[in-house]
Chains A and B, each alone.
Chain A
Amino acid sequence: MLRRRWVDAVVVVVVVLAFVLAPQAYSNETLLFQMMVYIALSQGVNILYGFTGYLPFGYVGFFGIGAYGASLLMLHLNWPPILALLGGGAIAVLLGLVLSPLLRLSGAYFAIASLAASQAVYLIVSNPALQNVTYGPYGIQLVSQFNPTLSYYVMVVILALTVAVVLYIRRSRFGTALQAMRDDPVSAAMAGVPVVRQRTFAWMISAGIAGLVGGAFAWQTSVFYPDAVFSLSISIFAIVFTLFGGAGTLLGPLFGSVVLYGMYNTIGISDPQYFQLIYGLLIILLVLFLPDGAASLLKRRGSHVL
């Protein structure tokens, strides 16, 4: 048990150090920041999909509401950025709570319903009728709060927190119960696991992570339109990175994010359709030939994947 704790601590420290030191070696801080965003988001997807089997196509809704929540708290109530970030996370958790009845639906219904929910939130936030509150389609400007360095390090902290949460879940009774529920919800309930409550809890943790990340993204970017933080592609990236690396593990989604997001930046930014084509094909091939992701290749050879 003690040795496991050490391993966990080392993993968190390595991740933190990697992103603290990376700007010294590589000058594109924006790319590093966005890589952290996607690692954290794919871990958020991982908590839900990897441990409960629920696939949140609409995950971006939490990211977007976190970005908007944090921004509006800064703009309307003059909250300092870090406090506003926490506020954005809290609002995302609240949205998760409001949407938690969706978790009564079975897999495919849930996936599509969550997609519909995120679109609904986007259409509400970006609606011209709410221009006085959300600035509608005209987007957010946080110029006076712009602080790329501090927001970068705050993102490192959020990432570390996310990694720690995933590690905790993997090790804990809660995590085992989630996996049991994913394998068979009826058996889990008969084993005494309060299935809906546990699932809701995982959903809200997952929502909170996306909300915090969204807030950090808003702060770092400081000028953005609603479609930038509600774009379905954000959900898609997080899901593909998770599936590629291997859901249910810590390192899988991390690996997936670093490799695929790196790839996206070399080929995708100017012609995103090529990348879309590649990951579309990747999804099809993964599902047909490697449903448990890259991590399962190692597992097949007998290694334990953290």
Chain B
Amino acid sequence: MLYALIAGVLFGLYYALIGLGLNLTFGVLRMVNLAHGDFVMIGGFAAVTAFSAWHLHPLWSLVLVAVLIFAVGIALYYVLVPRIAATKDPEMISLVLFFGLSQVIEALAVMRFGNNTQSIYEPVFGKAPVSILGQPFPAVWVVSGLVSLLALLLVYLYLYRTRIGYSTRAVMASREEAEVSGISVHKVSAIAFAIGLGLAAAAGALAPFMLGGITPDLGVGLTITAFAVIVLGSLGNPVGTVAGGLIYGIALMLMQTYLPSWSALLPYLLLLLVLLVKPSGLFGRQVRSA
């Protein structure tokens, strides 16, 4: 029980990291990036490839791929988003568009990497388990948990301690008001969108360990999981995402311990339950009744 709880916290932090980027994007753009999970997948393949080709440590890959995907994100934003925002129904249009993007990424990944599961099997974080409260955990879980925590902290500092972060929160609160008060909404949104993708890719670099391996079709499931996590913690609220991730992680570990054959159902059931019972999330104020 204690083991499952601690493991749940470690995985919860990791899932918060996966969800956080999606939530940032949703917060500023009011769009659900259905290709989010595919950027996690890209990060994963990048780490696996860099390790097998140059023996690059996954933590280095994490930093590199996050920066790289951040740059891609900026470009992608300016190519796609202003166009969608100008349409009649940005919410649905963006959903379909990002879905198309997700299909393209998945197809390219199959062409490049094939359909087999790839992973990093060498114990790059050492063989010795790390002991927490007397319970032994694989070192990589602890490292992933800590890295996720660090990333979450950095995002928190960005949002609450920098000028542009302040603007970002203003855009999250109301795009129109922010525009009127002279904030350059596109710049702020592009950066938030790119950070979102960068975070996804960073999480991806740890995915070979935390998710057991990488396949090109990982994207859709991860996007749903990320969506479940952020809906749990309330959409558009980055702090809530951490709570959502923790709940999800602990619930997952408990399921895997006590009901292993049904644990795969968890993200889907959790998502449906929250959407039907309290769509504003467990920690959210009521959103507009749309």
Contacts and interface: CB of A to CB of B under 8 A. Distances in A.
B32 interface: yes
User: Size band of the B side of the interface?
Assistant: 35 or more
Contacts of A106: 91, 290
B132 interface: no
Interface in A62-108: 101-102, 105-108
B93 A123 contact: no
B262 interface: yes
Interface stretch (A124-132, A143-151, A194-202): A124-132
User: Size band of the A side of the interface?
Assistant: 35 or more
A116 interface: yes
Interface in B98-144: 99-108, 110-111
Chain A contact residues: helix, strand, loop or mixed: helix
B96 interface: yes
B261 A280 contact: no
A9 interface: no
A273 interface: yes
B272 A129 contact: no
Contacts, number: 115
Interface stretch (B145-153, B157-165, B263-271): B263-271
A-B pairs, 9 with minimum CB distance: A283-B100, A280-B103, A280-B104, A277-B107, A276-B107, A273-B110, A120-B268, A284-B100, A116-B268
Interface of A: 53, 55, 57, 101-102, 105-109, 111-113, 115-117, 119-120, 123-124, 127-129, 232, 236, 243, 273-274, 276-277, 279-284, 286-288, 291
8 contacts: A108-B31, A279-B103, A280-B105, A280-B106, A283-B99, A284-B100, A286-B100, A288-B97
Interface of B: 31-32, 34, 80, 83-84, 87, 89, 91-93, 95-97, 99-108, 110-111, 220-221, 224, 227-228, 261-262, 264-265, 267-269, 271-272, 275-276, 279, 290
